[in-house]
Amino acid sequence: MPGLIGKKIGMTSVFSADGKNVPCTVIEAGPCVVTQVKKMDSDGYEAVQLAFDEKREKSTNKPEAGHFKKAGTSPKAKLVEFKEFEDEFNLGDIISVDIIEEDSFVDICGISKGKGFQGVVKRYGFSGVGGQTHGQQDRDRAPGSLGASSTPSRVFKGMRMAGRTGGERVKVDNLRVLKVIPESNLLLIKGSVPGAKGSYLIIEK
């Protein structure tokens, strides 16, 4: 589906028409440059490759530099393919935040914040034992039993245990667009979106 590449600026809040304070996320969405147009006869599928955010030429290798030069643009940091664009585009075309309307709904995909190695209470929301009875000590945040003993004599796959948390690709559907500010390429999205400040986001209509 058509969309844009954006960058998370941070969170704020705005007042709605009925006076409610609504938390929202500010996203810099575009402008994105068309760096490749894929066709069914040559590539086997149809898609438009968009590029966003400037990248230093010093950090760009020769194949990438040639790819951007062919599109007539400077090196970019993030490239994403989008399918099912209604309009036809050519290399070097600019797609701005204007394609998204206020009060519409979008899907946003990003990399969630990495939390490092965490226990089951933080990772899966275990409640803990609660209380230290019958001599139980320092076990409030322990996972408890991992399975039976002689049968099956192993821990089943998928058992919820401690481990690395966050840093995963997360997609949130049907987020409402509160406001579009075309002159600043900004979107105000109701609620929170995955990722830290400055991280890249994929915004799909």
- Mean pLDDT of all residues in 120-130: 86
Q: pLDDT: is 129 or 58 the higher one?
A: 58
Quick one: CATH architecture of 1-29+100-117+159-179+192-205? Beta Barrel (2.40)
Residue 201: count of CB within 10 angstroms of its CB: 26
Give Cβ neighbours of residue 104 (< 8 Å, ≥ 6 apart): 176, 177, 205
pLDDT of 10 > 90? The answer is: yes
Give Cβ neighbours of residue 56 (< 8 Å, ≥ 6 apart): 75
Give 32-95's CATH code, choosing from 3.30.160.810, 3.40.50.150, 1.10.10.60, 3.30.565.10: 3.30.160.810
Domain with CATH 3.30.160.810 in the chain: 32-95
Give the pTM. 0.83
Q: What angle do CA 74, 77, 78 make, to 5 degrees?
A: 115
Domain with CATH 2.40.30.10 in the chain: 1-29+100-117+159-179+192-205
User: For 77-101, how does the pLDDT look when each residue is reduced to its tens digit (9 = 90+)?
Assistant: 999 998 888 778 888 888 888 888 8
Q: pLDDT: is 88 or 23 the higher one?
A: 23
Q: What angle do CA 86, 89, 91 make, to 5 degrees?
A: 155
